[in-house]
Amino acid sequence: MIRTTPFHPRTSAANQTGLWSHWSGHLASEKYQVAEKFEYFAIRNSAGMFDSSPLYKYRIHGRDAERFLGGVLARDIRACRPGHAQYTTWCDDRGFVVEDGVILRHAADEFLLTAAEPNFAYFADLIGRHDVAIEEVSDDYATLAFQGPRSRTILEGLAPEVSALPYFALTPATISGIPVTISRTGFTGDLGFEVWVASGDALAVWDAVAEASQGHGVIPFGLQALEMARIEAGLLLLDVDFRSSRFAWTDEDRSTPTELGLGWMLRGIEADDRAFIGRRAIVREMTEKTSRWRMTGVVVDWHDYDRIYTNAGLIPPKDHTPVHEEFFLYDDDLKQVGYATSYAYSPILQRHIALARVRPNLAAPGTRVRLEIDVNHRYEYVAAHTARLPLYNPERKTA
């Protein structure tokens, strides 16, 4: 039987479309209103509420927790001080990415790791002689993402702690007397927070946030609006933009952190002595420059796009619904030089955009490429250029 999240009584009442996805065995609203773009604009112009409870959550604690995680995660966990969070990744010993996730450090020896897929056994099996315990607490907590330019002002009224909370920091707080953790994290690339609450208290917290949001244009948003936002924000989605090395059939389906644009996590690696899984391969990849791809944003040339459709007798579609198929990228000689994994029309950038990987020599922002689109049942090659991620990056996100 498909499960529901602790917020379900509220999300199901708000879902006017009856459209649900199955996310990690839970019902998750695809969109609440027929106009999902309206939900998207709540994220960009007010604030939106998103139920991200289905994420897997692991409590990792004990004297050796930091040391243990330092040996597994590719990003230096020591840099994540208590009261902070990190977006991180873990790799196999060939330097290919297994998965990514956000880890919250509640205390020196107390972490909460989130992941899109089950990772309990993977981490548990690596504990060895470390004084560490790992528990799955996925069902214990509900997570309410509250994202958008107004999120801070509204949340402040409930939990003053958030007013000075830096980007990727977290704080204990109470909302309506209920203990919660609030982290300044999210998957929208905007100013925003996530509220972590014991499942039993979830509804009271949802209600308090909804109540405080009255009149601010805040609405719940579903997966489609989230997808729109995360593509603009250049945030990767497992099984869309990359595949777990554990379950890939070929190396073509595997990626290294550098190839996924996560090379920044490894900055200074040559100088430090962290021994984590995949380190040797990653260092070799860096020194020998063997990365096959570079992650990049792609921005479609508006003019060329309109020209192609208009010449074909069509109205150029500007559909914001994200597309998850692969779109091939070419150079001017129509030689394939990459592929896009997520593609959408961005209402705020007023352009079609994509998350893509290209051959490393083409990764410099502004490099001209051509994107294959099908127009009138034929392939056309629309002009586009590579661009630095994130494609949309408002100052307020980190300010």
Residues that bind other proteins (CB under 8 A): 33-35, 37-38, 41, 44-46, 150, 214-217, 302-303, 306, 310, 315-318, 320, 345, 347-351
Supply the minimum distance, in Å, between the C-beta of residue 329 and other proteins: 21
Chain mean position to CA 375 = 31
Which residue, 248, 5, 329, 235, is CA-closest to 138?
5
The amino acid sitting at 325 is E
Q: How far is the CB of 47 from other proteins (least distance, A)?
A: 9
Look up residue 284 and give its two tokens.
Answer: 């070799």
Separation of alpha carbons 73 and 108, rounded Å? 16
**Spatial contact of 342 and 349, defined as CB atoms under 8 Å apart:** no
Q: Check if the beta carbon of residue 210 is closer than 8 Å to that of residue 218.
A: yes
Would you say 54 or 189 has its CB closer to other proteins?
A: 189
Shortest separation between residue 222's beta carbon and other proteins, angstroms? 14
Residue 316 or 360: the one with the smaller Cβ distance to other proteins is: 316
CB of 333 to other proteins, least distance (A): 27
Residues 6+ apart with CB under 8 A from 222: 15, 19, 28, 29, 30, 31, 32, 36, 39, 50
* Residue 127 or 348 having the CB closest to other proteins: 348
Q: How far is the CB of 362 from other proteins (least distance, A)?
A: 23
Q: In terms of CB distance, is 200 or 317 closer to other proteins?
A: 317
Residue placing its CB nearer to other proteins in the complex, 281 or 348: 348
Q: Which is nearer to other proteins, 113 or 344 (CB)?
A: 344
Closest by alpha carbon to 41, among 160, 166, 185, 188?
A: 188
Least distance (Å) from other proteins to the CB of residue 20?
Answer: 17
Q: How many CA atoms lie within 13 A of 87 on its CB side?
A: 15
